[in-house]
Structure 1
Amino acid sequence: MRRLYYLIIITFLVGCNKSENTHTKSQLIHIDLNGSAQSLLQKSPVEFSKDCMNAVDMCWYKIQSPSSINLPSVDISLDNKTLNINQVSGITTAVSKEFGENLSNLKLTLRGLPDNTPHEDQRDFIYALINSIKAVGWQHYFFPSDPRVNGSQARKINSPDDVLGFYVSSHPWLDPDYEMDMESWLKVGSFYNWYFFKDGVHLNLRAWRKNSKDTPNERGTYLITLNFKTEELYWLSGFEEKNERRNWRELLPARLKKYAEMRQEREEKVRTAGIEVDESYQDPQIKALEK
């Protein structure tokens, strides 16, 4: 049975070179994360639906596939490397004047393993996806206020939500460079979040778990999404007021200083508790502040 699921994983991640005929071959959508949204919409072999809200000068473009037959594959290019994802059941992007013509956001919804598959197989499937993401250069990202505690210290942390009582977004249990055992996996709860960064783009891999009604500790159904954001949108989303959003580049350094102070305070606490800090990790450069 496990061999069957591994074959499914391989097929999902690398695709199938054969097709019965031209009618059953899935379509391939090329997405350049450094390109424009209009280029994606015009070149896509699958048509996007459009829904606009004039009051906020924004349009949402979607591809939603209700059927699991012939779901498209997506090639996501960044920095001359391509991540290929098969069995994509949904694609969403939003376009507004505030973010200009560049592709600032992208959400992919994936069709993974069948409903009520064993949790262990679901976990292996997701880690195979994580490894394919890392293989094309995406690296683990720590939130700037979080202590730099990686997965090597996971057994020293008792809760999947916090470290020594304070909530962290980039939790050691969810370090993409370390795999959780099944006991920890089932303790995480309904949502799993892994965070990556590459060449000015942020990526959040999220999995939502719904346990089987009959065998909740053994089987479950998982919904998997990949959310890409440009550096600008990532930092801008932290500013809500219109005036703040207009001047976010000038306001960001003060906010980063506050985050750095929070990280320093938290890292002092974890060191005192005998938890190691990953001194080798450095926050990625923010290109918007270099201009």
Structure 2
Amino acid sequence: MNESLELKVNESGSEFLKRHGDRFALVERPPGVKFYTAKWPTEAPGNVVFKQGNHSFSVRSVLSVTGNDDPNFSSENILQWHVNGGISDADLIGHDDARKTFFSLLQTIRRAGWKRYYMLGEPRLTKSDAIRYARTQLPVYGLDPDYEPTREEWMSLSNRSQWLFYADHAYLSVALSRDPGRMDIDREGAYFVEFSLVGENEQFRKIVGPKRRATWQASLPEELSLLKAEREKTEHALKAQGIHIDEAYVDPPTPRF
């Protein structure tokens, strides 16, 4: 049976190592950032349980895990986790099987109560409109986890296409990559998946950017105002083209300072 471990964002490093210290290496690098890392061989990948409040789900075929803190925000403990692995334990998989397997994973996340997240400043698009926008305008645009792409759409996805979620003051991104040399639809492909789980405060620090990281709370209101205006402008132009906007969607609340 594959090894399994449990990840929580904002958990203290000492508590985490009590559970998994035999598996993880702890490395401290300047300026005092602690990294918690683990790796598995391809022939014996690991399992990971993302445990965020009541929104737990598990993933298989994990090859590496890395988490880190930040001494400037020590009270937030481990700020983020990055998990890398395959779409299945096999090195190669048929493209249509990969499509179905990956969509099943997205539905597992949704059933665990994770909601779709639109990056602030970006238009609220669904289904094939989201795929088309990512292909023609913004490759890193978060796609619709409730829409199963057709075979043709699946094969047209850009490398590192991503799906974004939030739940219980945490944010999750799921990025899909594949070997560009194995794109023949009639042959098997090689797929890779990266999960990134970050706490609420860290997510909003990323929004204001590294130059204002130390003063992120003071900088956030201005940035949110600019992003709101940017989204409104983009959505207005898309509506004029007859493209549906997901106006029922409401952004998650901002952190409570």
8 Å contact kept, 1:28–1:45: no
**RMSD across aligned positions (CA):** 2.1
Task: State the 1:285 CA deviation.
Answer: 0.1
How big is each residue's C-alpha offset from its partner over 1:26-59, in whole Å with a ceiling of 9 and x where there is no partner?
A: 33312233522321122116421233222x2212
Residue number among 57, 76, 80 corresponding to 2:54 in the alignment: 80
1:258 aligns with 2:223: no
The equivalences for 1:50-199 within 5 A come to 50-54=26-30, 56-69=31-44, 71-101=45-75, 102-113=77-88, 114-151=90-127, 153=129, 158=132, 160-162=134-136, 166-167=137-138, 169-171=140-142, 174-199=143-168
8 Å contact kept, 1:236–1:245: yes
Counterpart of 1:235 in structure 2: which amino acid?
F
Call closer, same or farther: CA 1:272–1:168 in 2, change over 3 Å. farther
Query: Which 10-residue stretch deviates more, 57-66 or 30-39?
Result: 30-39
- Report the structure number with the largest CA radius of gyration: 1
8 Å contact kept, 2:128–2:149: no
How big is each residue's C-alpha offset from its partner over 1:162-188, in whole Å with a ceiling of 9 and x where there is no partner?
A: 4xxx437435xx211111101111111
**How many Å separate the matches in 2 of 1:188 and 1:94?**
30
1:231 aligns with 2:200: yes
Aligned residue in 1 for 2:172: 203
Q: For 2:223, what is the secondary structure of its paired residue?
A: helix
- Compute the TM-score of the two structures, normalised by the length of structure 2: 0.89
**How many Å separate the matches in 2 of 1:34 and 1:236?**
15
Task: State the 1:60 CA deviation.
Answer: 1.6
Alignment: residue pair count: 253
**How many Å separate the matches in 1 of 2:52 and 2:25?**
25
Counterpart of 1:28 in structure 2: which amino acid?
S
How big is each residue's C-alpha offset from its partner over 1:238-261, in whole Å with a ceiling of 9 and x where there is no partner?
A: 4222xx222111110100000000
Call closer, same or farther: CA 1:130–1:89 in 2, change over 3 Å. same
Aligned residue in 1 for 2:17: 41
8 Å contact kept, 2:61–2:86: yes
Counterpart of 1:209 in structure 2: which amino acid?
R
Q: Which runs of 5+ in 2 are unaligned?
A: none
**How many Å separate the matches in 1 of 2:92 and 2:203?**
34
Aligned residue in 2 for 1:281: 249
Query: Which 10-residue stretch deviates more, 145-154 or 219-228?
Result: 145-154
Counterpart of 1:82 in structure 2: which amino acid?
S
Q: Which runs of 5+ in 1 are unaligned?
A: 1-24
Aligned residue in 1 for 2:210: 240
Task: State the 1:235 CA deviation.
Answer: 1.8
**How many Å separate the matches in 2 of 1:246 and 1:94?**
17
Counterpart of 1:188 in structure 2: which amino acid?
L
8 Å contact kept, 2:55–2:114: no
8 Å contact kept, 1:27–1:46: no
Task: State the 1:138 CA deviation.
Answer: 0.7
